[in-house]
Amino acid sequence: MAVSANKIELLQIADAVAREKSIEREIVIGAMEEAIQRAARSRYGLENEIRAEIDHKTGEINLVRLLQVVEKVEDEAKHISLAEALRRNPAAQVGDFIAEGLPPFEFGRIAAQSAKQVIVQKVRDAERQRQYEEFKDRSGEIVHGVVKRVEYGNVVMDLGRGEAIVRRDQLLPRETFRTGDRVRAYIYDVRREARGPQIFLSRTHPDFMTRLFAQEVPEVYDGVVEIRAVARDPGSRAKIAVISNDSSIDPVGACVGMRGSRVQAVVNELQGEKIDIISWSGDPATFIVNALAPAEVSKVVLDEEQNRIEVVVPDEQLSLAIGRRGQNVRLASQLTKWDIDILTEKEESERRQEEFKRRSAMFIEALDVDEVIAQLLVSEGFSEIEEVAFVDAGELAQIEGFDEDTANELQERAREYLDKKNAELDEERKKLGVKDDLLEAEGLNLAMVVALGKGAVKSLEDFAGLTPDELTGWNEGAGEHKKHIAGLLEEFKLDNARATNLIMNARVKLGWIEPLPEPEAKDETEETAPAEQTAESVFGPRS
């Protein structure tokens, strides 16, 4: 093929490729120009700087060699003397480039094959870039596609202007597709990779269900009804929490539809996955009770520090609350983002009695009091010796049967007990070889320091080098192979935030990092921290 070949045909080819691949015509012509340049360099020598330009209107090809204007020519293939340049262009200066026209040439078999590869690669790169630009901002959408092929359980889909994949773990259980099937799926990720943009689809993603409801329920699409949370056991069961921004609209009823028509449309798309629609609440206890439906709940106890909730249900409701293979409570936990412990009323009563006996025995031993006084303290909500030692004496004196002298005596005994206990702990610390600087660390008490010493953490520097997981504990593996690794301070019930704060304080003290800015001064009218927080800062969290 000659460079001077049919010019109109050249432009027609560019137009056809651009239409077929859905890319810009200029990109195809640019690929042709680069292919001609490479072929020309092979023909005239690789040392030459050659440019090819195709007129976008006429198809005329202009082939030139660029020569740089220099005072002294060192490479005739790249340079031209100033004197010679001035003869060709009187305005030429050193550093400019002079274009020297080259004659047309015939493409050999190898040059033609090389040119074809260049054009194919450039067009493919442009097609990939176009596909990435089109889908990069579409994460979170539902798309329709046709199954192109199935590879090792993964489904490759044709989206019309792109190709996407639904991996085997993103398909519903027992769900199979054949070539030509039409499928709806959720775009959860679009990534640029070496082999081109990868569009990942899912039919198990929680947001897939949210988008399906938006398509089936006009109130959800319009934002009148919001889906605040979704938890799924794909292909089996799901729970969604909804709330209405219009008091006249029932969010659950809107999602269910007349005779269940709306929710049934979503169920059919998800291969019969059962869906529980519940009302969302800003109150965690109410939300969790709703999430455990259809089970009835008798009582809930929140532990906000540990983000756990204890739910008490009637004995006959236990299996319903837990669900088959723990499915109901697991989905409720995912939906509410709380760890849920379920007890029957009988179990809760037995545990409460056991806890009452344990705390009474502790007060009897530590304060040297009779059983009646110990039980009175427990009944009033005291659970630790520190609380008795540092609570306001007037609060103790108000307990029925106590007076001011009794309150003072109890506090004196509690403080003596704590002093003795601290002395024993300090002696143990010294035997373990724990340095004093660790004891001075903000937020650590003697009991914590001893626990750290037993774990071979014997200085502030050792402590500052730890991670929060090493203090609180962590899990390794999954499923049946899941194994819990105990943390150095796990017995003190630290959450991740507090463990992180302890370590950061140590690093600031050592000068490893800069201290955080001081918080703004609080309004004097704000409530002061209760006495029990002071005790906690000294003796650690209650067990």
Q: What residues contact 185, with CB distance under 8 A and at least 6 apart? A: 142, 143, 145, 157, 164, 166, 201, 202, 203, 208
Cβ 507 vs Cβ 458: under 8 Å: no
Q: What is the pLDDT of residues 333-374, one digit of tens each?
A: 999 998 898 888 888 888 889 989 998 998 898 888 888 888
Percentage of the chain modeled with pLDDT above 90:
26
Q: Are 235 and 205 in contact (CB under 8 A)?
A: no
In what helix (H) or strand (E) does residue 155 lie, and over which residues does it extend? strand 154-158
pLDDT of res. 543: 33
- Quick one: pLDDT band at residue 392, thresholds 50, 70, 90? confident
What pLDDT does 132 receive?
Answer: 76
Which residues are within 8 A (CB) of 37 and not within 5 positions of it... i.e. 6 or more apart? 50, 51, 52
Q: Where residue 217 falls among pLDDT bands split at 50, 70, 90?
A: very high
DSSP codes joined into one string, 350-385: HHHHHHHHHHHHHHHHHHT--HHHHHHHHHTT--SH
10 has pLDDT over 90: no
| pLDDT computed for residue 3 by the predictor | 40
Q: Which domains does the chain have, with CATH numbers?
A: 7-131 (3.30.1480.10), 136-202 (2.40.50.140), 218-345 (3.30.300.20), 411-539 (no CATH)
Q: How far apart are CA 307 and CA 228, in angstroms?
A: 19
What value does the mean pLDDT take over residues 536-540?
Answer: 31
pLDDT class for 77, splitting at 50, 70, 90? low
Could you tell me the pLDDT band of residue 398, with boundaries at 50, 70 and 90? confident
For the chain, how big is the Rg over CA atoms in Å?
38
Alpha-carbon gap, residue 130 to 26, rounded angstroms: 14
What pLDDT is recorded for position 535? 31
Query: Up-side HSE of residue 241: CA atoms within 13 Å toward CB?
Result: 23
How far is 380 from 396, CA to CA, in rounded Å?
Answer: 9
pLDDT at 59: 66
Mean pLDDT, rounded, of the chain: 81
Peptide bond into 251 cis (omega under 30): no
User: Nearest to residue 204, comparing CAs of 243, 248, 181, 173?
Assistant: 173
State whether the Cα torsion 141-147-148-154 is positive or negative. Answer: positive
Q: What is the pLDDT of residue 205?
A: 92
User: How confident is the model over 45-61, as a mean pLDDT?
Assistant: 71
Render pLDDT for 127-177 as a digit per residue (tens, 0 to 9): 677 777 777 778 888 989 899 989 888 999 888 777 888 999 899 988 888
Start-to-end C-alpha separation, the chain: 87
Residue 28 pLDDT exceeds 80: no
Q: What does pTM read for this prediction?
A: 0.59
d(CA 450, CA 429): 5
The pLDDT, as a whole number, for residue 330 is 92
Res 242 pLDDT > 90: yes
Q: Amino acid identity, residue 102?
A: L
Confidence of residue 109 (pLDDT cuts 50, 70, 90): low
Q: Which residue has the higher pLDDT, 8 or 511?
A: 511
SS3 assignment for 159-202: CCCCEEEECHHHCCCCCCCCCCCEEEEEEEEEEEECCEEEEEEE
**Cβ neighbourhood burial of 330 (10 Å; 0-12, 13-18, 19+):** middle
Q: Reduced to 3 states, what is the DSSP secondary structure of residue 387?
A: helix
pLDDT digits (tens, 9 = 90+) for 414-469: 899 889 998 999 899 899 999 989 988 888 989 999 999 999 999 999 999 999 99
248 vs 43, 245, 406, CA distance in Å? Answer: 80, 9, 59
Most confidently modeled of 17-21, 24-28, 101-105, 445-449?
Answer: 445-449
